[in-house]
Structure 1
Amino acid sequence: MAIGALTPPQTDTAPQREVLIEFPDNRLLIDLCGEHDRNLAEIERLLSVQIVRRGNLLAILGEEAGQAEAARVLQALYDRLESGRAIEAGDMQREIRMGPATEDAGLGDGDQLEMFKGGTFEIKTRKKPVEPRTQAQKSYVQSLFEYELAFGIGPAGTGKTYLAVAVGVSMFISGLVDRIILARPAVEAGEKLGYLPGDMKEKVDPYMQPLYDALNDFLPGKQLAKLMEEKRIEIAPLAFMRGRTLSNAFIVLDEAQNATTMQMKMFLTRLGEGSRMVITGDRSQVDLPRGVPSGLADAERLLGKVPGISFNYFTADDVVRHPLVAAIIKAYEADV
C-alpha cells in the first residue's frame, strides 16, 4: 500500500488536502470497501471524512487528524484481509476503538491467546475466532486468562458474558479445563415462573437462552448437544449449584446482580482446584424484590481489595450492539 498527499489547485476557497492510498490487490480492495461501499460509508460516518474510490486508489478528504486515522484504519482492515480474515460488521468501530497496534506479550497457559496486528486478541473457538472490540474488553479478556476469579460489571451489550463463554470454550478445547458450567439466577422480571408451561427445565430454559445462544456461536450444534448430554457442558439455575465443588471447570455466573448475598457467597465458595470463575452483571438491572440487597454489590464491597481477584468495568462506550443501545443507556444514566 502506498500513501501520498495531494493538494488540489488554489481556488477562491481554501484548498482541501487529500490523502491518496494505493491498494495493490483489487480483489481485496473490493472486500475492503464492502457491498455498495458500506464499509467506507461507516468509516466516513465514524471519522467525519470523505472517501472517494479511484480505481485501486482511495482518496481521503477532511481534517488532517481524521484523514490520518482513516488511513490507519483502512490499512489495518486491508492487512486483515491479506491474512485471510474477513471484515465483519463492527470491525470498523473495533479498529477505531482499539487504536494503533501495540506490542503485547502472549499470556500464560501456553499462550492460549494468539496475538495479531492491531493490538487485539483472537480467542480460538471451534466455529470462529472472537476478538475484543474495545480496550475494556481487551483488559477483561486478559484478566480471564490471568486470574482464577474475575468480575465483569457493566451495562448490557458490552460483551461481558459473550467473551467469558468464548474464553471458556477456548480453554475447554485446549484441555485447560474439563468442563464448562454456566449459571444464572432464575429471577422473575415481571413474569411468574409458575405460569409458564412445562416441567421445571422447560420453565427455566428461557432464562438460560442467552447462554445457549453464546455456546451455539462457538461450538457446532451436534458437538454441543453431545457435550451437554455428557454433562461436560452444563447450563443451570444458580440454585442448582448448592452443595457442589466445581473442580477443573470454567464457571460463569451471569446476571449476578440478581443473586442475593447468600447466593453469591454460596456460588463463590464452589470454586475448586484447577477452576476459573467469572461473575458478570449489570448493577442497573436488579430484579430482586424491593429491600433485598444485590449479592453483586456486596461482593464488590467485600472483595474489591482481595489479592487474586480481578474487577473489570464497562461503560456505555463499550457497547458493541446497535449504536442506539449505547445512546439508550446514556439517556437512562443521565436521568438518574
Structure 2
Amino acid sequence: MRRPGSGSGSETERTLTSPRAAPRAVPAAPRWIDTPDDDSAGQIVLAFDDNRVASQLFGHYGQNLALIERRLEIVAEQRGNHVTLEGPREACEQARHVLETLYARLKKGGELQPGDVEGVLREAAAQGQLFEFDPATKKQSFDEIQLRRRPVRARTAAQDAYIRALKRQTLVFGVGPAGTGKTWLAVAYAVHLLERRVVDRLILSRPAVEAGERLGFLPGDMKEKVDPYLRPIYDALHDLMDRAFVERAMMSGEIEIAPLAFMRGRTLANACVILDEAQNTTSMQMKMFLTRLGENSHMIITGDPSQIDLPPGQTSGLAEAVGLLKDVEGVDVCHFNAADVVRHELVGRIVAAYDRKDSAARAAVPAGIARP
C-alpha cells in the first residue's frame, strides 16, 4: 500500500512533505486517493487550522490517533497539523468522522475527557454508514446531559438509551456490569435536575453490605461509619460539581447521602433519589425503598446482578423488582453488558470472560435441577 510522501505524488500528498506549506482549514470534502491495486482502499488527508487544538485532538504522544488506528485497523500518520488516514474506505471515513467531531467539540471550547475518543468511535460504529456531514451543525446521535461544569455525553448506545430513559421516565433501573457508567450517569442527571431547580434536593443511598469481608467495628459517628460504603457516590459528585459547592450543599441538606436503612418511614418529595449497588438489597428493602417515592420526584436504581454480596439463599431485591416492574407505566429498565464498559478496555474483556464462565456453568446444569 502506497505510503504518504512517496514519489512525486498528487497535490494533496505534497502538502504533507513540503515544509513551507501553510496550514489549511479542514477541507469540506477531503480528496480520496485510491491505491492502484484496490479501489476500496486508499488515503484521506485532513488538515486542521488551529495547531493548539489539533495537538489536543491528537493526544499526548499521539495516543488518540493510536487508539483510532487500533480500533479501525487503519494507519493514521501525523505531520504537524495534518493527518493522513490510510486503509479501507469505510474505516477511513469513520476515522474522519471521529476526528472532525472531536475537533469541532474542542473548537467550541469543550474538553477532551478520557474515553471521549472511544465514545465517538462507538457512535461511528452504531451509525454504521459512510459519513457525509457538517460536524459544526449536525446533531450528535448520542444524547448528553448539560451541566454547569461540562456536558456529559453518552459513549455507547446503551448509555444513550439510559440517558433518554432518565429524561423520559420517573423510575429507571440501570442494570449491568461494573464500569458501564450506570452510577456516574445517574449522579450526572441528578446534578442536572438540581442545578436547574427541577428538584430541591438529591438523596443518594446504597446498602451498607460488605463485599465478602467482615470489617468489624468501625470507629466514629454514623457518617464516618457509612462513608466507606458511599465513597463511589462522593467520587462522582466531586467529578461533576465544584468540591466547595458539594460541601455547602451537603451542609444545607440539598445533597443527602445516607445508608438504605435510614429510608424507612420517609416520603421523598421534590427530590432525585438514587439507590446504588441495589443488587445487595433484600426483597423487603427494595419494596420499602420504592414506596418512598413522593410528588415531583425521580428515582434511579443501579446495580450489577453478577456481584451480589448477600448471604447465600437470600433473594436479590433488584432482580425481583426488575422482573415485576419492567412493564409498568412510568418505569424503564436499561441493560448494559461487557461491550458497554467505558473504563480501561481490559475491564470489558475481564467482564466478558466471567460472563462466558457463568454461561458455561448454567448450560452444564441438567434440565429440571434448580440452580443455586
TM-score normalised to structure 1 length: 0.90
- Of 38, 43, 56, the residue aligned with 2:68 is 43
Unaligned runs of 5+ in 2: 1-25, 128-136, 359-372
Deviations 1:199-221 (A, max 9, x none): 33322110010111111112222
Matched-pair contact (CA < 8 Å) for 1:185–1:237: yes
Give the superposition deviation at 1:67. Answer: 1.1
Higher alpha-carbon deviation: 124-133 or 303-312: 124-133
Query: Structure 1 residue aligned with 2:50, among 22, 25, 41?
Result: 25
For residue 212 of structure 2, the aligned residue among 184, 187, 190 is 190
Change in 2 beyond 3 A, CA 1:292/1:77: same
- Once the two structures are superposed, the pairs formed by residues 61-210 of structure 1 within 5 Å of their partners are 61-99=86-124, 117-210=139-232
Offset of 1:134 from its aligned partner? 0.7
* 1:53 Cα deviation after fit: 2.1
CA–CA separation in structure 1 for the residues paired with 2:243 and 2:188: 15
> In 1, Cα distance between the equivalents of 2:105 and 2:126?
13
Deviations 1:59-90 (A, max 9, x none): 11112221111111111111112212122221
Give 1:305's match in structure 2, choosing from 319, 322, 327.
327
**Contact 2:202 / 2:272 at 8 angstroms: preserved in 1?**
yes
Give 1:246 shift. 0.2
Structure label with greater radius of gyration? 2
- Tell me if structure 1 keeps the 8 A contact 2:126–2:157: no
State whether residues 101 and 119 of structure 1, in contact with CA within 8 Å, keep that contact through their aligned partners in structure 2: no
Q: Aligned equivalents of 1:28 and 1:136: distance in 2? A: 30
* Structure-2 residue corresponding to 1:57: 82
Structure 2 residue corresponding to 1:6, chosen from 23, 33, 39: 33
Q: 2:256 is matched with which residue: 229, 234, 238? A: 234
Distance (whole Å) between structure 2 residues aligned to residue 116 and residue 201 of structure 1: 47
- Pick closer, same or farther for the CA change 1:18–1:247 going to 2, 3 Å: same
Offset at 1:148?
Answer: 0.7
Amino acid at match of 2:104: D
More moved, 222-231 vs 118-127? 118-127
- For residues 243 and 253 of structure 1, the distance between their equivalents in structure 2, rounded to whole angstroms, comes to 16
The 8 Å contact of residues 158 and 336 in structure 2, kept in 1 or not, is answered as yes
* Deviation for aligned residue 1:322: 0.6
Aligned to 1:158, the other structure's residue is in SS state coil
Cα shift readout 1:286-311 (whole Å, capped 9, x = no counterpart) = 10001110001110121121111101
**Alignment partner, residue 225 of structure 1:** 247
Which 5+ residue runs of structure 1 have no aligned equivalent? 103-114
The C-alpha deviation readout for 1:217-268, integer Å capped at 9, x for no partner, is: 1222222111111111110110100000000000000000100000000000
Partner Cα distance (1:253, 1:116) in 2: 36
Partner of residue 299, structure 2: 277
Residue identity matched to 2:195: I
C-alpha offsets along residues 17-49 of structure 1, whole Å, 9 cap, x if unaligned?
Answer: 212223233332222212221111111111111
Query: Per the alignment, do residues 26 and 39 of structure 1 end up closer, same or farther by CA in structure 2, a change over 3 Å counting?
Result: same
Task: Look up the SS of the partner of 2:153 in the other structure.
Answer: coil
Scaled by the length of structure 2, what TM-score is found?
0.82
CA distance, structure 1, for counterparts of residue 302 and residue 227 of structure 2? 19
1: CA distance between counterparts of 2:340 and 2:181? 8
- C-alpha change, 1:326 and 1:41, in structure 2 (3 Å) is same
Is the Cα–Cα contact under 8 Å of residues 252 and 279 in structure 1 kept in the other structure?
yes
1:189 Cα deviation after fit = 1.8
Q: Distance in 2 between matches of 1:81 and 1:126?
A: 17
Compute the RMSD of aligned alpha carbons. 2.0
Q: Does 1:216 align with 2:238?
A: yes
For the residue of structure 1 that corresponds to 2:77, the secondary structure is: strand
C-alpha distance in 1, partners of 2:294/2:31?
Answer: 58
Corresponding residue SS for 1:99: helix
The size of the alignment, in residue pairs, is: 321
8 Å contact kept, 2:179–2:342: yes
Counterpart for residue 11 of structure 2: none
